[in-house]
Amino acid sequence: MKQITAYVKEYVLDDEELLANQFIVAIHNNKLAGFVRLRHHTDGDELCTLGVIEQYRGKGIGKALVEEVKKKSSGALYLVCIIPIFFDKLGFNVIENNIPASMKRKWTRCTNDYVVEEEYCVMQLQNKNA
């Protein structure tokens, strides 16, 4: 968990209430290659804090981690991100209406706390089999 926390800070990812049991990790040759977090809210599940260690990028690890979250999610699955094109290919669509309160709070927190050039958006998994 120490390694994940260090990368979360380095990559400026969501570090709110980090709990080890929320994470799915990818290991390559006994080394951390990537991680993602699945948070359960009363109004839906959230895919967040996705990171792939630089030397492992471009090898499908991010996609594999997202697929694991999709399998483990027990309900509607949402995320807040600045790279919708990546998640669009994995079955997520940008939504502007009927956004759950937990995702509205997350979007507000991201836009206020994480200053980036890109715009944040809320996405929802459209089909569990995507």
Do the domain assignments include residue 44?
yes
Do the domain assignments include residue 28?
yes
Supply the pLDDT for residue 127: 67
| Domain encompassing residue 115 | 2-125
Supply the CATH number for residue 84's domain.
Answer: 3.40.630.30
Do the domain assignments include residue 130?
no
What is the Cα–Cα distance from 3 to 42, expressed in whole angstroms?
29
Q: How many domains does the chain have?
A: 1
- Indicate the pTM of the whole model: 0.91
Do the domain assignments include residue 80?
yes
Kindly tell me the sign of the dihedral angle through the C-alpha atoms of 90, 95, 99, 102.
positive
One digit per residue, the tens of pLDDT, for the chain of length 130 reads 999 999 999 998 999 999 999 999 999 999 999 999 999 999 999 999 999 999 999 999 999 999 999 999 998 999 999 999 999 999 999 999 999 999 999 999 999 988 888 999 999 999 654 4
Do the domain assignments include residue 37?
yes
